[in-house]
Amino acid sequence: MARLYRATYPAGSHVFRQGDVDDRAYIIESGKIEISTPQGVLAVLPEAEIFGEMGLLDRGERSASAKALEDTSLIVVERQQIQSKVDRADPVLRYLLSLLLNRLRSTHRALSELGQLVDDGAANGARNGARKPTLKDPDMAALNEAKRTAVDELHQHALRRLKLEQEIQQAVDRKEFFVVYQPIMRLQPFNVSGFEALIRWKHPERGLVSPMDFIPVAEETGLIVPIGSMVLDTALRQVDSWRSKKIGPASVTMAINLSARQFFEPSDFEAVLKQVTGSSVPPDQVKLEVTESIIMDNPDRVGDILTEIKQTGSRLSLDDFGTGYSSFSYLHQYPFDVLKVDRSFVSRMVGNRRNHDIVRAIVGLAHDLGMEVVAEGIEKDEEADALRKLDCEYGQGYRFSKPLSAEDATAFLQQRPKAA
Ligand code: C2E
Ligand code: CA
Ligand code: CA
């Protein structure tokens, strides 16, 4: 992925000129940029605007020049950062994009020519006493305004997204990610069974950023691979440290989330297996979690991959069960050891007969297929009680503990848990 880099342009200098071939786009961090053709100024762009994006997509000739009106700092977006997205996009979308770009380029050309005509016409018109048509006509202004409002939201979204990608890259380099551990409790008899490792990002300005906000982006850019590898390494070392210091039960397990990329990209998958087998933690204390949606998106490819994981001796958990559009019938095909019932069922099971029955059915089916069950997101005593009555083996949720720092997780293991 492209690195974040900035370029500064002193007042009066050109970023590019009309006719240049350049495949980068620029985001104005501070300063002002004037976009112009020989016919006149098209726009003056302030901070946070993006320009040059067409060249980024099709490497065409610049249809206008860009000049700094004051000392200006730009964030440079390289073609590489966008190209991987375009490559992965749906072919229909790619086609539409190229169509749109061609149209936009012809419109630009037509507008330039029109500008020329307008200038010539102005000279003629002045002689004939006709009104001079300009691009400042009210119709044109209204059109521009409408267009601007329509793209503004999209634009802001894309900018935030590009910035986030670059920040994630920086965060990897600056080691801003760390791992927390949420206890997974055996419900009866009540004690700690293990932990789930969860990633956290301490952003220098925004504070803690939720994994929900950056995991999907990290996944798309491939940065999930170094991040995931760090989580795996840190979490396995943590178990090793507890074992060597004889803290908590010797059999304490560590659940680690795998992303689609770590699962389906052969070299990344190999790296995961290597990390698991290369660690001194007994493999059956490692539980690799794969979400139901990952399985459902690629039902044909998962069988072999899951079997390979099983061959390392690690255990396999099916995460977020109930959130995908799966049917129960596929469950028996795959060698999962654990089924994690999604929080959305757990939080609605008390006082709701239907949801309670759904959880009962899920637990029953899992047991019939030889799987153990972890209920996710337990927040109330009533939920823990109801799950215990359904013979659900394990529970995880704020009722028992929020995700903890390594230090707090160690303390959690050292104290006897109070019955819940
Ligand atoms: P998940 O695997 O389903 O993890 C459980 C999430 O539920 C965690 O959110 C946890 O903090 C939250 N949670 C636990 N108990 C409760 C509760 O009682 N109530 C409520 N409201 N929430 C509870 P978190 O840590 O924000 O993680 C969100 C998701 O991000 C995870 O969902 C997982 O899909 C992903 N994720 C987190 N860490 C990693 C990682 O290292 N690698 C990958 N690939 N994904 C990760
Ligand atoms: Ca999980
Ligand atoms: Ca889950």
**DSSP string over 317-366:** EEEEETSSS--GGGGGGS--SEEEE-HHHHTT-TT-HHHHHHHHHHHHHH
Residue nearest to atom 13 of ligand 1 (CA): 377
With a 6 Å cutoff on the Cβ, whether 292 touches ligand 1 is no
Ligand 1 atom with the shortest distance to the CA of 396:
15
CB under 8 Å to 332, separation ≥6 — which residues? 369
Residue nearest to atom 45 of ligand 1 (CA): 257
| Extents of the domains making up the chain | 1-152, 175-414
Q: State residue 336's pLDDT score.
A: 95
Q: State residue 122's pLDDT score.
A: 41
Q: How far is the CA of 199 from the centre of ligand 1 (A)?
A: 8
Q: State residue 123's pLDDT score.
A: 39
Ligand 1 atom with the shortest distance to the CA of 378:
18
With a 6 Å cutoff on the Cβ, whether 319 touches ligand 1 is yes
With a 6 Å cutoff on the Cβ, whether 226 touches ligand 1 is no
Ligand 1 atom with the shortest distance to the CA of 342:
3
SS3 287: strand
Q: How far is the CA of 85 from the centre of ligand 2 (A)?
A: 27
Ligand 1 atom with the shortest distance to the CA of 403:
11
With a 6 Å cutoff on the Cβ, whether 377 touches ligand 1 is yes
Ligand 1 atom with the shortest distance to the CA of 398:
18
Q: How far is the CA of 319 from the centre of ligand 3 (A)?
A: 5
Question: Where does 175-414 sit in CATH, by number?
Answer: 3.20.20.450
Ligand 1 atom with the shortest distance to the CA of 231:
41
- How far apart are alpha carbons 155 and 378 in whole angstroms? 40
- How far apart are alpha carbons 53 and 297 in whole angstroms? 32
Q: State residue 59's pLDDT score.
A: 75
Residue ranges in the chain modelled with pLDDT below 50: 1-2, 117-135
With a 6 Å cutoff on the Cβ, whether 262 touches ligand 1 is no
With a 6 Å cutoff on the Cβ, whether 316 touches ligand 1 is no
312-332 pLDDT, tens per residue?
999 999 999 988 766 677 788
Q: State residue 121's pLDDT score.
A: 42
Return the best residue to mutate from 184, 215, 232 for the ligand 1 pocket (most ligand atoms within 8 A of CB): 215
How big is the CA angle at 24 (ends 169 and 57), to the nearest 5 degrees?
Answer: 100
With a 6 Å cutoff on the Cβ, whether 65 touches ligand 1 is no
Is the separation of the CB atoms in 27 and 159 below 8 Å? yes
With a 6 Å cutoff on the Cβ, whether 379 touches ligand 1 is yes
Residue nearest to atom 23 of ligand 1 (CA): 377
Residue nearest to atom 42 of ligand 1 (CA): 257
Q: State residue 229's pLDDT score.
A: 96
Instruction: For residue 294, give Cα distances in angstroms to 179, 252, 290, 325.
Output: 22, 27, 7, 11
Q: State residue 116's pLDDT score.
A: 54
Q: How far is the CA of 340 from the centre of ligand 3 (A)?
A: 7
Question: Where does 1-152 sit in CATH, by number?
Answer: 2.60.120.10
Is the separation of the CB atoms in 4 and 166 below 8 Å? yes
Q: HEC profile for 205-238?
A: CCEEECHHHHHHHHHHHCCHHHHHHHHHHHHHHH
Return the best residue to mutate from 177, 196, 198 for the ligand 1 pocket (most ligand atoms within 8 A of CB): 198
Q: Which two tokens stand for residue 71?
A: 């000392």
With a 6 Å cutoff on the Cβ, whether 398 touches ligand 1 is yes
Q: How far is the CA of 366 from the centre of ligand 3 (A)?
A: 16
Q: State residue 120's pLDDT score.
A: 45
Return the best residue to mutate from 219, 257, 348 for the ligand 1 pocket (most ligand atoms within 8 A of CB): 257
Number of alpha carbons in the 13 Å side-chain half-sphere of residue 52: 29
Number of alpha carbons in the 13 Å side-chain half-sphere of residue 126: 5
Residue nearest to atom 21 of ligand 1 (CA): 377
Question: What's the whole-model pTM score?
Answer: 0.76
